[in-house]
Structures are given as C-alpha cells and as structure tokens.
C-alpha cells in the first residue's frame, strides 16, 4: 500500500536531512511522525522513525553536546549545491577546474582531493555551487560523502570511460549511499515511502576521448541508463561541457524568475531561484514577508503567461525565465 505522505511530511523530512545537530534531527523526526498518516501502509515507517528518535536520544546521552558543525558542511551559495562524486581519477577535479574559476588540484595519482572544495560554475544567469570530493572506493571509505549528498540540491556522479571497471566503481558508490538512506536518482518520484532521501542526480561520463570509451559508455548506459540521465564529456578535449551544464540544470528542477518594478525595466541580472512548480506566492515569500502580506496581484511576462503583461494571482505557477512585477497594497 502506498504511504501517500503529505507535503508537510516531506518538508519535515528535508529539515531532518539538512539538520546539523541531534536536537534538530529529533525535532524534525517528531514532526514527521506527527504529520504522517497512521495506517497499515505506514507501519514500517512509523517504527523506523521511532527507532531513529530512540537512537538519537541514546547517542546524545553518550556524547553530550557535540555542537560543532562538521567540516564537511559547506555553506550553500548560488542556485544550488552539487557534490561531484566518483571513483579515483575519474576527472572530478579536472571537470571542476574546467567549468569554474577555482583552483582545484588535478593529478595523475588518485586521492589528491581530501576535503570538500566548493567552486562556482556560471550557467547563463545563475551560478551553481559544485563541491569537489575525495575519490570514494571500497579501499577508501569517505563516510561523510553521503552526509554531503543528503543536504545537496543535486548530485553529479562521474564515470571514467577509460576504465572498464567504472560501472562497478559507480555501483559501489550508489549502493554505499543507499546503505545510508541516500538514494541517487535521475528524477525524484512524487510519491515516496520511507526515510530515504532522494537526491536528483546526473551521471557525467568523462574521458570520451579514451580508446575504449564508446564500449565503456555503452556498458554504463546498460547498467544506469534507466536510473540516471547520462552525459558523455571529455574535459581534456573540451567536449560536451555546454550540454553537460544544461543537463545538470535540468536535473536540478529549478525555475529562474526575474523581477521588475512597475514602470521600470526588468532586472535581468540575477534571477530568484525557485523549485519547479513554484507559484507567485512562493516568489513573494522568498523576496520579503511584507510583500507577501500586502500582495495584491502580479503582472507577468514570459512562458507561463497566456499573453505578455498578463495579470495573475498568487496561485499562478511560474515558468523558467518569467519576469514578474509584484503589486502590493
Ligand atoms: N584522457 C582524458 N584524461 C582526463 C580527462 N579528464 C581528466 N583526465 C585525467 O585524469 C586524471 C585524473 O584527474 P583528476 O581530476 O585528478 O581526477 P579525480 O581524482 O577524479 O579528481 C588526470 O591525469 C587528468 O589529466 C579527459 O577528459 N580525458
Ligand atoms: Mg580530485
């Protein structure tokens, strides 16, 4: 039986996954428990949440007040945070160096990157925050990468097309994530069960210039083609990087909205970034709570309108690139 969890549940679950302290986690779990429907279909989930609360309380008793924010919590800036995750030598650092202005170390020997390193990737009107991570493999277990992924807005998995073992290496990562309740998936389903966190993920397949690349790409597609969108690139030869940026933007499921003041030109500099499906209400709430409180109507230019300058209400669903003029009392 599907659990049919309400949006408030998913909101609390998001707080749970982004919580930095045990207290915040317990609070979010309690909220999840309070708002979830209690029926047979959620028996397992109810038990699971209770177990987690008990575990957290137990852990808090043993290690009191470790309030420090872990070093792998990276402050989010820009339109979204995207860890770049993959096996050793896939070219994670090389990719980040190619698409950002950051100085990340690229090396022919594995395990060059030891701590998460954030870097901004410009994409059209926005900046996406990529986070370089250490290579993750059975020989080198980086336990905090799932924690980074859990809080992320999307993930980028990087395959190495010069390595026939890249499919198995990625499989290891995907499964190790799932063991920590982090599910990497191309498109997050609307209806979900359980406490797992789904993170929208793009698979970029690097080194398409390598001798056996097309065969390895085919194998990678066979294993992961239904799970992730796959985007072949060659960082070294600067191939496919524009398509890659667009594909990552698509996976993130975000809508860019520009605002304008009545009687003035639109501010086409930096858009507001909203989740797909957001409304004029969500935009107003993001700008200022006074604007939301005094909202009268909006005028709209862009793809979501029937005509340019259309007058719309709070419930109007916005589209990428829309320009909105908010009118207040
Ligand atoms: N042939 C080829 N080699 C690449 C490409 N991108 C990166 N490399 C090489 O792969 C090695 C590992 O790169 P690095 O970015 O350090 O990998 P990381 O461990 O995933 O961060 C370096 O020697 C890079 O020069 C590519 O597109 N094609
Ligand atoms: Mg690296």
- The reported pLDDT for the residue numbered 24 is 86
- Cα 126 to middle of ligand 1, angstroms: 26
Query: How do beta strands 155-160 and 81-85 pair?
Result: parallel
How do the domains of the chain map onto residue ranges?
Answer: 7-62, 81-252, 254-328
Global pTM?
0.82
pLDDT at 277 over 70: yes
3-class state of residue 166 by DSSP: helix
Q: Tell me the mean pLDDT in the region 244-267.
A: 94
Structural tokens at position 67: 């309030």
- The contacts of residue 109 (CB under 8 Å, 6+ apart) are none
The number of the ligand nearest the C-alpha atom of 113 reads 2
| Cα gap 295→216, rounded to integer Å | 55
Across-strand partners of 140? 137
Confidence of residue 85 (pLDDT cuts 50, 70, 90): very high
pLDDT tens per residue across span 106-141: 655 555 557 788 999 999 999 999 999 988 888 887
- Cα 250 to middle of ligand 2, angstroms: 25
pLDDT at 1 over 50: no
Report the mean per-residue pLDDT for the chain: 89
Helix (H) / strand (E) element for 284: namely helix 280-287
Structural tokens at position 283: 């935009």
| Cα gap 233→93, rounded to integer Å | 14
The CATH number of the domain covering residues in 254-328: 3.10.20.30
- Are 145 and 156 spatial neighbours (Cβ–Cβ below 8 Å)? no
Pocket test for ligand 1, best of 96, 106, 114, 244 (most atoms within 8 A of CB): 106
Residue list, ligand 1 pocket, CB within 6 Å: 86, 88-94, 106-108, 110, 112-113, 135, 162, 206-207, 209-210, 234-236
Confidence of residue 68 (pLDDT cuts 50, 70, 90): low
pLDDT at 103 over 50: yes
pLDDT tens per residue across span 171-191: 999 999 999 989 999 988 777
Residues with CB under 5 A from ligand 2 (ion): 92-93, 112-113
The number of the ligand nearest the C-alpha atom of 210 reads 1
Phi, psi of 321 (to 5 degrees): 90, -5
CATH class given for the domain over 81-252 = alpha beta
Q: Tell me the mean pLDDT in the region 304-326.
A: 95
pLDDT tens per residue across span 189-207: 777 667 788 999 999 999 9
Q: How far is CA 295 from CA 22, 126, 258, 266, in A?
A: 38, 27, 17, 19
Nearest to 251 by CA among 101, 143, 128: 128
Q: pLDDT over 70 for what percent of the chain? A: 93
- Cα 77 to middle of ligand 2, angstroms: 21
Q: How far is CA 101 from CA 53, 85, 89, 120, 129, in A?
A: 43, 19, 20, 7, 12
């Amino acid at each position: 039986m599907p659990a049919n969890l309400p949006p408030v549940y998913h909101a609390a679950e998001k707080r749970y996954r982004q919580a930095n302290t045990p207290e915040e986690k317990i609070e979010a779990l309690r909220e999840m428990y309070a708002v979830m429907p209690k029926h047979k279909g959620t028996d397992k989930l109810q038990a699971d949440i209770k177990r987690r609360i008990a575990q957290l309380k137990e852990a808090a008793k043993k290690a009191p007040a470790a309030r420090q924010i872990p070093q792998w919590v990276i402050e989010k800036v820009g339109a979204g945070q995207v860890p770049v995750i993959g096996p050793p030598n896939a070219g994670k650092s090389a990719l980040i160096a190619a698409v950002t202005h950051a100085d990340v170390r690229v090396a022919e020997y594995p395990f060059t990157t030891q701590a998460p390193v954030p870097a901004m990737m410009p994409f059209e009107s926005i900046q996406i925050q990529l986070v370089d991570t250490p290579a993750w493999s059975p020989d080198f277990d980086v336990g905090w990468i799932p924690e980074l992924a859990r809080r992320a807005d999307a993930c980028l998995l990087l395959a190495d097309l010069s390595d026939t073992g890249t499919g198995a290496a990625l499989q290891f990562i995907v499964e190790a994530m799932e063991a920590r309740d982090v599910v990497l998936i191309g498109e997050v389903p609307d209806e979900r069960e359980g406490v797992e966190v789904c993170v929208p993920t793009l698979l970029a397949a690097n080194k398409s210039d390598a001798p056996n690349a097309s065969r390895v790409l085919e194998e990678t597609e066979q294993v992961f083609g239904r799970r992730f969108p796959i985007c072949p690139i060659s960082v070294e030869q600067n191939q496919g990087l524009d398509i890659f940026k667009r594909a990552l933007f698509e996976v993130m499921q975000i809508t860019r909205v520009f605002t304008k003041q009545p009687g003035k030109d639109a501010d086409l500099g930096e858009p507001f970034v909203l989740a797909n499906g957001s409304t004029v209400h969500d935009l107003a709430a993001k700008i200022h709570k006074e604007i939301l409180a005094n909202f009268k109507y909006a005028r709209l230019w862009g793809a979501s309108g029937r005509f340019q300058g259309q007058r719309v209400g709070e419930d109007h669903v916005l589209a990428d690139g829309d320009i909105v003029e908010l009118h207040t009392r």
